[in-house]
Structure 1
């Protein structure tokens, strides 16, 4: 590292004479959640080549750098792992789809014939973003799911339904705070409780939901017990 001062300020002049410069080249773009701005923004993905400069003129290559992600709004650079975080729009869609899938799983486990369970599920799904969802639509979807998989309604959570739950919840779980994961499981539990105590099939479905949300078995049991307590 060059010193910033020296005898007769010679080192200071050397710093001014010598330096480095990075030339950035765009290699992609898109939309991302910018942690600097705190919202969805456009970005460019950049790779760079560094060079030593003499009197501001590039003279010797110093190697490649990057890639980095540059926000189009604040111009800050971030590591490419920032793209792993979903945009606000994408996160909302993931959460909406997760609530819908969870509601169907609980209904398929035993509540599809109960009007109170259907009403509870429809309320949750509408609040998540499917504003036009009705009880009849959910009942029809559960019946179609059973016909498609050959699963008996009210039976244990089958492999196909477990796969659907994991497909909906696995990408979402890392981006939910613990309280958010707990809230989603509690919501599912209250749908199951809308028509009475948990059935074995409902407990099986709720355990699968908890596992997909990376909630440990002890915490799943604690939350299922808490859901039975009136708030």
Structure 2
């Protein structure tokens, strides 16, 4: 870019480029620069060649970009793939709830210790008003909904496996390994509250580990560790 020296000693920009931005959408996102939830504007731009600050020739388009409304940083559209803090909390809460229901559906709700352990797990995830009766009613409703939870093939059931994958797979890329392992361990403790794993419970837990993108041997290790942990 050429510059000329003015009489005042200031350098004048002779030529360059300028981008004019147009907002085409907005919303809320997790800003990687701010480190929190912020409003954003989705913008596209048109670049122009300038001489002495005057735009003359079109030089193509820019963007689209996501511009933070707070720090004004600009990012690629893939930044919207990261959930907001509020959305992430809801995803985690719903995932724990779904996994707990799946374990109860596999092992039954006849044991009070199992029900109590399940309630503690779900409340810790964010459902503060969860009760034993609510979980029992949900499990009974799911068992009756044979179009959604079928018993064949296998103890876990194809529809139940799909339900777990739908709840866990979107969460897994945004959750550290320790967090994913914690979900498996909490679910294992529910299953173990009335004794050793049943084949159906073990299958559900294995499905949970796979949906959370844990290696099979990692899931096996976690289940073994949970079974040797005093409660």
Q: What's the TM-score once normalised by structure 1's chain length? A: 0.91
User: Partners in 1 of 2:211 and 2:3 — Cα distance?
Assistant: 55
Describe the superposition over 1:123-160 as per-residue Cα deviations: whole angstroms up to 9, x where unpaired. 111111111100111011111101112746xx711111
Question: Where does the alignment leave 5 or more consecutive residues of structure 2 unmatched?
Answer: none
Corresponding residue number in structure 2 for 1:105: 102
1:46 to 2:43 alignment: yes
1:228, distance to aligned residue in structure 2 (A): 1.6
Corresponding residue number in structure 1 for 2:183: 184
**Aligned pair count?**
223
**What is the SS of the residue equivalent to 1:58?**
strand
Instruction: Confirm or deny: 8 A CA contact 1:111 1:192 kept in the other structure.
Output: no
Corresponding residue number in structure 2 for 1:201: 200
Instruction: Confirm or deny: 8 A CA contact 2:107 2:200 kept in the other structure.
Output: yes
1:128 to 2:125 alignment: yes
1:111, distance to aligned residue in structure 2 (A): 3.4
The 5-angstrom pairing of residues 18-29 of structure 1 reads: 18-29=15-26
**What is the SS of the residue equivalent to 1:82?**
helix
Corresponding residue number in structure 2 for 1:63: 60
User: Partners in 2 of 1:210 and 1:4 — Cα distance?
Assistant: 61
User: Partners in 1 of 2:150 and 2:51 — Cα distance?
Assistant: 74
Instruction: Confirm or deny: 8 A CA contact 2:82 2:174 kept in the other structure.
Output: yes
1:4, distance to aligned residue in structure 2 (A): 7.7
User: Partners in 2 of 1:171 and 1:143 — Cα distance?
Assistant: 27
Structure 1 residues 218 and 15: CA distance shift in structure 2, 3 A: farther
Structure 1 residues 23 and 160: CA distance shift in structure 2, 3 A: same
1:81 to 2:61 alignment: no
1:229, distance to aligned residue in structure 2 (A): 2.4
1:173, distance to aligned residue in structure 2 (A): 0.7
Corresponding residue number in structure 1 for 2:227: 228
Describe the superposition over 1:50-82 as per-residue Cα deviations: whole angstroms up to 9, x where unpaired. 111100010111100100000001111111100
Q: What's the TM-score once normalised by structure 2's chain length? A: 0.91
User: Partners in 1 of 2:223 and 2:74 — Cα distance?
Assistant: 44
Describe the superposition over 1:154-205 as per-residue Cα deviations: whole angstroms up to 9, x where unpaired. x711111111111111111111111111111111111101110111110000
User: Partners in 2 of 1:176 and 1:4 — Cα distance?
Assistant: 50
User: Partners in 2 of 1:230 and 1:200 — Cα distance?
Assistant: 20
User: Partners in 2 of 1:46 and 1:196 — Cα distance?
Assistant: 57
Instruction: Confirm or deny: 8 A CA contact 2:49 2:57 kept in the other structure.
Output: yes
Question: Where does the alignment leave 5 or more consecutive residues of structure 1 unmatched?
Answer: none
1:47, distance to aligned residue in structure 2 (A): 0.3
